[in-house]
Amino acid sequence: MLRTALLLAALTAIILLIGQYVGGTAGMAVAFLFAIAMNFASYWFSDRIVLRLYNAQPVDEAQAPELYRIVRDLCARAGMPMPRLYIIPSLAANAFATGRNPRHAAVAVTEGILRLMNERELTGVLAHEISHVKNRDILISSVAATMAGVIMMAASMARWGAVFGGVSRDGERGGNALALLATALLAPFAAMLIQMAISRTREYAADDSGADHSEDPEALASALLKLGAASERVPLDASPQTAHLFIVNPLSGHALARLFSTHPPLEDRIERLLSRARRR
């Protein structure tokens, strides 16, 4: 958690740096306030937005009895309330959790993953997603994604500032156009790397705590192995801005997406889980 806090602080620092280069002290204050406003919106509305984006359909116990039973048992073990459950009408195999806290959470699975997984593997996947909710990873990743988005917009403003000569600290013009342009070009790349580091850290943590909740690390390892192969065959039509939410990278069919993945390598995750199983 300390590493995550430091990475979020680094994202905040980048926002402030761009704000200062664009508009001096006043620009830094505006950038900071804008970041707060964007995070407030992300906190309250990100779950609705992402569920609507993937056309996720709510299901009740009568419609998905096995899914409900597994999630209810896992929540009882984890000591947390039952989340809302959704099914995404897609043959791609994947799943994600969203929501600002355990009392306002949702877990969504694709039709593809329900067809692909046996009960043991599905339990491992759902334990991973329940762990994201309990660990409040959804809030952390939403904040990171929002701040990265703010940096992208601010960097675009900074590039225009560089074109027109730049604005130095507290409104003095000239002499800083090159520094402003360098900041505008490097900041989005730095923000992307930081967001990736946050997402990868939280994925490892969810694997570990998910294995604890299910008491079956081999099941999650088996599920990840299947998901890796399935996502190559049938990648999900997903937005890069929400790729970090899924249990495996939905964009893994694209070479560039693999290079800048928000997820740790599947091989590493599987090996960690199997090592955990051997120690039991």
The tokens of 79 are what?
A: 């000591």
Residue with tokens 């156009």: 177
- What is residue 212's predicted lDDT score, i.e. its pLDDT? 92
Residues 193 and 148: their CA atoms lie apart, in Å, by: 10
Cα 125 vs. chain centroid, distance in angstroms?
16
Q: How many CB atoms lie within 10 A of CB 239?
A: 13
- With 0.85 as the threshold, say if the pTM is over it: no
Residue 263 in this model has a pLDDT that exceeds 70: yes
Query: Tell me: the pLDDT tens digits for 222-253?
Result: 999 999 999 888 989 887 767 888 999 887 54
Handedness of CA 223, 211, 80, 9 (dihedral sign): negative
The dihedral region occupied by 60, where left means phi > 0, alpha psi between -120 and 50, and beta the remainder, is: beta
The tokens of 124 are what?
A: 């491992």
Q: Torsion angle, CA of 188/189/192/194, rounded to 10 degrees?
A: -110
CB 187 within 8 A of CB 17: yes
Question: Three-state DSSP class for 279?
Answer: helix
Average pLDDT over every residue of 118-136: 94
Rg (CA), the chain: 20
- What is residue 11's predicted lDDT score, i.e. its pLDDT? 64
Considering only residues 37 and 277, tell me which one the structure prediction assigns the higher pLDDT: 277
Residues 260 and 4: their CA atoms lie apart, in Å, by: 19
- What is residue 39's predicted lDDT score, i.e. its pLDDT? 64
Query: Tell me: the pLDDT tens digits for 11-65?
Result: 667 666 666 666 667 766 776 676 677 667 666 777 888 899 899 999 999 999 9
Query: Tell me: the pLDDT tens digits for 165-220?
Result: 554 444 444 445 555 556 666 666 666 666 676 778 889 999 999 999 999 999 99
- What is residue 174's predicted lDDT score, i.e. its pLDDT? 43
Active-site residue, 129 included: yes
pLDDT-wise least confident of 54-63, 256-265, 268-277: 256-265
Q: How many CB atoms lie within 10 A of CB 244?
A: 25
Domain ranges of the chain: 2-279
- What is residue 30's predicted lDDT score, i.e. its pLDDT? 73
DSSP element (H, E) containing 214: helix 177-214
Task: Report helix, strand and coil shares of the chain as percent, to nearest 5.
Answer: 70, 10, 20
- What is residue 20's predicted lDDT score, i.e. its pLDDT? 65
DSSP element (H, E) containing 58: strand 57-58
Residue 163 in this model has a pLDDT that exceeds 60: no
Longest dimension (CA), the chain: 67
- What is residue 170's predicted lDDT score, i.e. its pLDDT? 47
Question: Three-state DSSP class for 105?
Answer: strand
Considering only residues 259 and 39, tell me which one the structure prediction assigns the higher pLDDT: 39
Burial class (CB in 10 A: 0-12, 13-18, 19+), 8: middle
Q: Which of 121, 129, 203, 218 is labelled catalytic?
A: 129
- What is residue 137's predicted lDDT score, i.e. its pLDDT? 83
How many CA atoms lie less than 13 Å away from 63 in the CB half-sphere? 8
Query: Tell me: the pLDDT tens digits for 96-114?
Result: 998 878 998 999 999 999 9
Q: For residue 264, what are the contacts with CB-CB under 8 A and spacing of at least 6?
A: 200, 203, 204
Residue 79 in this model has a pLDDT that exceeds 70: yes
Give 246's strand partners. Answer: 96
